[in-house]
Chains A and B, each alone.
Chain A
Amino acid sequence: MGDVVIARSLFGTTMGFHIIFATLGVGIPLMILIAELMYQKTNNRDYAIMAKRWTKAKAVLLGVAIPTGTIAGVQLSLLWPGFMEVIGKVMALPFQIEIYAFFVEALFISIYVYAADRISPWMRILSVTLVTIGAAASAVLITNVHAFEGTPAGFRIENGEIVDVDPWAAFFNPSFVVTAGHVAVSAFMTGAFVIASVAAYKMLRNRGNKRIFQFHRKALMMGLIVGGIFSFMTALNGHESAQQLHQFQPEKLAAAEGLFKTQSHAPLAIGGFTDRETQEVKWGLEIPWALSFLADDRFDTVVVGLNDFPEEYWPPLFVHTLFNGMVGIGSFLILLSFLGFLWSKILKRPTFPTWLMWLFVAGGPLAMLAIEFGWIFACTGRQPWVIYRVMLTADAVTGNQNLALLFFAFAAIYVLLGIAVVLVLRYYFKRHPLEDEWKESDSTTNGIHA
C-alpha cells in the first residue's frame, strides 16, 4: 500500500517538474513567431532581437524539457505497468502520433536555431510555425491520454480481458477536445504572461535608459495582448471543462465545489476549506444557485453531491482549494491584461504606475502556478481511479518495493536541473546585454542570428 503513495509522489513530482518546461515550450514559440511576424511587418530590428533572445531561452529550456519528458514517458511503464498495458492495447495512437509531433518540433527547432543565417526569412517563419505547431500538438496528444483516463472509451472489459477495441473511439473520447483545448490555450497564455513578467521587471530596472525601456515595453504589450486573448479563451473553455465534469465525472465536480448534498439551485462556494465532518465549506463565500447554472446553464440543474457516492471513491477534498486557485488566477489575469491594455491604448499613458508593473511581474509566475494547480486538481481529483471506473491506481502500480530511493534520486536531479537552468539563463543574459545586440545589428544588417 505504501508503494502506491510513493509511486504517485514520484510520478507527480516528475510531471510537476516537466510541465513547467513543457508549458513554456508550447507558449514561447508562439511569442517568437509573433515577434518574427512583427519584424517582417514593421522592419523594426527590436522584434528580431526579441525573437533571437527568446529563442536562446527556449533552447536552454528544451535542455530540461526533453529529458524530463523522456523520463515521464518511460516512467509511465516503469511505475504503472498495469495502466500502460491497457493504454498499449487501446490508447496507443496518441503516443504514436505524438512522436511525429516531437520529430517536427525537434527537426525545425534545430533548423531555426542553427541554420537561421542560411535560410530565407520566410523559411525561418515557416520553421518557427512548425515548432509551435509541433509543441502544441505534442501537448494536445499527451493530454488526450489524460482525457481518456477521465472518460475512457473504445473498449470493454469482459472477465478481465480487454475486448471490442476501437482505437479511434478511444482517441476521440468524450473529453478529448475540451480538455486538450484547455491545455493548449492555457499554455499559450502562460508563455505570454511569462514574457510579460520578464519585460515588466526589466522596465522597472531600466527606467533611466529610454531605449532599453522602450524595447521591453514592446515585449510587455505583446505579452499582455496575447496573454489577454488566451486567458479569456482559457476561462471560456475551462467553463466547458467544468460542465464536462458535471456530465462525466460528477464526484470530481462535487469535490471541487465541496458539495455534499445532491440538489437543484446548488450554490457555488468560493474559497474556504471543505470539512468532511460537518459536510460544508468553512469560511467560504457562497453564491446561491450559481453552481447549478455553471454546471448546465440552468438554475434548476440538479448537481450531484458527494453523498451519492461511497466514501471510498471520494476524491481528496483539498482539490477545492486547487480549483479555486486556478479559476481565481485565471480571472485575475484576464482583468490584469485588460487593465494594461486600457491604460496604454485607451488612456494613452506612456508608462504604467509601479504597483501595476509589479502585478505584471507577478503574472507569469501566477499563470505557472495555475497550470500546476490545474494538473494536480485534474490528476488527484480522479483518485482513487487511474482509469475512471475501470482501473484503480492501486491495481496499476508496479510490484517493485524499493521506490523510496528512486524518489529521492529523481527529486535531487530535478532540484539540480532547476537550479542549473536558472543560473544558466541568468549567466547568458548578463553576458549578452541588449546593448551588445544593438551594436552587432547596427554593424551588420542581414541575418538575425549570429
Chain B
Amino acid sequence: MTDVILAITVLWGFIFIYAVMATMDFGAGFWSMLYIKSDKTNATNIANKYLSPTWEVTNVFIVAVVVAIYSFFPSAAYTLGTVLLIPGSIILLLLAIRSGFLVFSHIVSDYEKPLTYISGITGFLIPAILILVLPITHGGFVDNVNGVEQLMLGSVLTSPHALSFVLFAVSSTLFLSSLLLADFSKVAKDKHAYEIYRRDALILGPVSLLSALLIMITMRYEAFWLFNGMMDYLFWLVVSAAMFVVTGIALIIPGKNGWTGLPRLGVVSAFIQYALASYAYGRAHLPYIIYPNVTIQNGFTDPASFRALFISYIVGFIILFPGFVYFWRLFMKDERYIKNEH
C-alpha cells in the first residue's frame, strides 16, 4: 500500500467511526427530547444514560477528522477551509449550543425540558448540514471569483442530490440511534422503552434505505463520474442492502422470554451495512478529494511528516486501547450502570 492510500484509508476510518458515533450521539439527543414529555416511559432516561458519558468522546472524533484532513492533505484543507467557511461556521455555532445546553440540561433540573429541547433540536440539525460536505466534494458547487474559490450555497440548497443527502443523514441518524437504544434498553431489561425504540427503528430503516436510493438516482444526474465509479462496486452495495434485510429480520423474529427481536444482531448488521456502502462510496470517490481539482496525490502532505504521523497513530492506538476497553466495560456492559435510575 502506498503512503497516500494508507492516509486516505485512515481518514476514511475516522470519518466512518465519527459518522456512526455522531448518529448515535445526535440521535440519542433527539430521542431524549422526543420522549421527555411522557412520564410513562423510561425512554428518555435510557437515551441520557448513553449520552452522558459518551458525548465528549464522540466530539473528540470530529476534531480527529479535521486534524487528519489537514495533516494528511493540507492542500485539500486549503480548499475545504475556504469553501466551507459558511456551512462550517454554522455547524460550529450549532455544536456550541448543542454541547453547552446538553450539559446544562443535566444540571439545572427545573429547566430540564426547555434546555433539552434546545440541545435536541440543534443536535438534530447538525448531521443535516454536516453531510453537505459530501455532495460539495462531488463538484459543481464551487465557483472561482477573482482567484478565490467560493461555495455557491444557493445551488447546494436547491440541488436534489444535496437534499437527498440531507434526508439520508437525518433518517440514518434516527434509524441507527433507535436501533442502538433498543439494544441498550434490552440490556437494561426495560421492555417498554425497548418496544418504543424497536418500533422507531422499524419505521426509520426503510426511510433511510429509500433516501440512499434517492442519492444514487440523483447522483446519476449530478455527479456521473461518481455514479459510474459506484457501479464498479455494485457487489458491495448489493451485500450492503442484504445486510439491511438482515437487520429488519433481526428486529421482528421472536426472541427469548417474550422479547421480540434480536437487537444486538440488528446493530451489528446495520453497522456492516453502512460500512460496506461507505466503502463502495469511498473507493468510487478516489482519487478525488474534491472533484475535479484536488486529488489525494496533489493534496498529500510531506512524506517525512506522514511517516512521523503514522508512527504516532500506532503509539497512540496502543496507549489508548485499554482506556477504550475499560470505558466500554463500565458504560456499555455494566448493568449496574445501565439499569440504575439516574
Kindly identify which residue among A69, A106, A398 contacts B81, using a CB–CB cutoff of 8 Å: A398
Instruction: Say if the beta carbon of A400 comes within 8 Å of chain B.
Output: yes
Kindly identify which residue among B89, B305, B316, B324 contacts A406, using a CB–CB cutoff of 8 Å: B89
Given contacts A96-B67, A106-B59, contact A66 B308 (CB under 8 A): no
A73 and B103 CA atoms in complex are apart in Å by 21
Instruction: Say if the beta carbon of A355 comes within 8 Å of chain B.
Output: no
Flag if A107 contacts B324 (CB, 8 Å).
yes
Specify which of A82, A87, A103 lies most central, judged by the most chain B CB atoms within 10 Å of its CB: A103
Flag if B70 contacts A114 (CB, 8 Å).
no
Shortest C-beta distance, B277 to chain A (Å), equals: 27
Residues of chain A from 65 to 86 with CB closer than 8 A to chain B in the complex: 66-71, 73-75, 77-82, 84-86
A90 and B147 CA atoms in complex are apart in Å by 26
Mask, A132-172, CB within 8 Å of B = 1, is 00000000000000000000000000000010011110000
B-side interface mostly: helix
Shortest C-beta distance, B15 to chain A (Å), equals: 14
Kindly identify which residue among A70, A97, A402 contacts B92, using a CB–CB cutoff of 8 Å: A70
Given contacts A56-B107, A93-B312, A399-B147, contact A88 B301 (CB under 8 A): yes
Given contacts A99-B316, A103-B60, A424-B104, contact A110 B54 (CB under 8 A): yes
Instruction: Say if the beta carbon of B232 comes within 8 Å of chain A.
Output: no
Given contacts A106-B56, A107-B57, A400-B148, contact A89 B100 (CB under 8 A): no
List residues of chain A with CB within 8 A of the CB of B74.
84-89
Q: Which residue of A lies closest to B305 (CB)?
A: A167
List residues of chain A with CB within 8 A of the CB of B63.
69-70, 73, 99, 102
Flag if A77 contacts B56 (CB, 8 Å).
no
Flag if A106 contacts B304 (CB, 8 Å).
no
Residues of chain A from 270 to 313 with CB closer than 8 A to chain B in the complex: none
Instruction: Say if the beta carbon of B330 comes within 8 Å of chain A.
Output: yes
Indicate the size class of the contact surface on chain A: 35 or more
Kindly identify which residue among A98, A168, A413 contacts B308, using a CB–CB cutoff of 8 Å: A168
List residues of chain A with CB within 8 A of the CB of B147.
399
Flag if B81 contacts A78 (CB, 8 Å).
yes
Instruction: Say if the beta carbon of B243 comes within 8 Å of chain A.
Output: no
Flag if A96 contacts B71 (CB, 8 Å).
yes
Flag if B304 contacts A63 (CB, 8 Å).
no
Q: Which residue of A lies closest to B92 (CB)?
A: A71
Shortest C-beta distance, B291 to chain A (Å), equals: 19
Kindly identify which residue among B64, B78, B327 contacts A84, using a CB–CB cutoff of 8 Å: B78
Flag if B71 contacts A78 (CB, 8 Å).
no
Flag if A109 contacts B56 (CB, 8 Å).
yes
Flag if B100 contacts A81 (CB, 8 Å).
no
Instruction: Say if the beta carbon of A38 comes within 8 Å of chain B.
Output: no
Residues of chain B from 92 to 114 with CB closer than 8 A to chain A in the complex: 92-93, 95-104, 107-110
Instruction: Say if the beta carbon of B207 comes within 8 Å of chain A.
Output: no
Flag if A428 contacts B56 (CB, 8 Å).
no
List residues of chain A with CB within 8 A of the CB of B235.
none
Instruction: Say if the beta carbon of A100 comes within 8 Å of chain B.
Output: yes
Instruction: Say if the beta carbon of B320 comes within 8 Å of chain A.
Output: yes
Residues of chain B from 57 to 83 with CB closer than 8 A to chain A in the complex: 57, 59-60, 62-64, 66-68, 70-75, 77-82
Flag if B60 contacts A102 (CB, 8 Å).
yes
Q: Which residue of B lies closest to A428 (CB)?
A: B107
List residues of chain B with CB within 8 A of the CB of A428.
107-108
List residues of chain B with CB within 8 A of the CB of A110.
52-54, 56-57, 327, 331
Q: Which residue of A lies closest to B54 (CB)?
A: A110
A63 and B75 CA atoms in complex are apart in Å by 32
A74 and B77 CA atoms in complex are apart in Å by 11
Flag if B312 contacts A96 (CB, 8 Å).
yes
Flag if A99 contacts B67 (CB, 8 Å).
yes
Flag if A99 contacts B60 (CB, 8 Å).
yes
Instruction: Say if the beta carbon of A211 comes within 8 Å of chain B.
Output: no
Flag if B305 contacts A77 (CB, 8 Å).
no
Instruction: Say if the beta carbon of A232 comes within 8 Å of chain B.
Output: no
List residues of chain A with CB within 8 A of the CB of B336.
118
Q: Which residue of A lies closest to B320 (CB)?
A: A103
Specify which of B72, B75, B93 lies most central, judged by the most chain A CB atoms within 10 Å of its CB: B93
Shortest C-beta distance, A174 to chain B (Å), equals: 19
A66 and B103 CA atoms in complex are apart in Å by 11
Shortest C-beta distance, A80 to chain B (Å), equals: 8
Flag if A111 contacts B82 (CB, 8 Å).
no
Instruction: Say if the beta carbon of A417 comes within 8 Å of chain B.
Output: yes
Shortest C-beta distance, A204 to chain B (Å), equals: 26
Query: Could you list 25 examples of A-B contacts with CB < 8 Å?
Result: A59-B107, A63-B103, A63-B104, A64-B96, A70-B59, A70-B62, A70-B95, A73-B67, A78-B85, A81-B78, A88-B301, A88-B305, A95-B67, A107-B326, A109-B56, A110-B54, A110-B56, A111-B53, A115-B337, A118-B337, A167-B302, A402-B86, A413-B97, A424-B108, A428-B108
Interface residues of A (CB under 8 A from B): 56, 59-60, 62-64, 66-71, 73-75, 77-82, 84-90, 92-93, 95-100, 102-104, 106-111, 113-115, 118-119, 162, 165-168, 398-400, 402, 406, 409-410, 413, 416-417, 420-421, 424, 427-428, 431
Which 8 pairs show the lowest CB-CB distances between chains A and B?
Answer: A88-B74, A63-B103, A92-B71, A399-B148, A77-B81, A110-B53, A81-B81, A106-B56
Known: A77-B81, A78-B84. 9 other contacts (CB 8 A): A67-B99, A70-B95, A77-B80, A88-B72, A99-B60, A100-B320, A103-B57, A104-B320, A114-B337
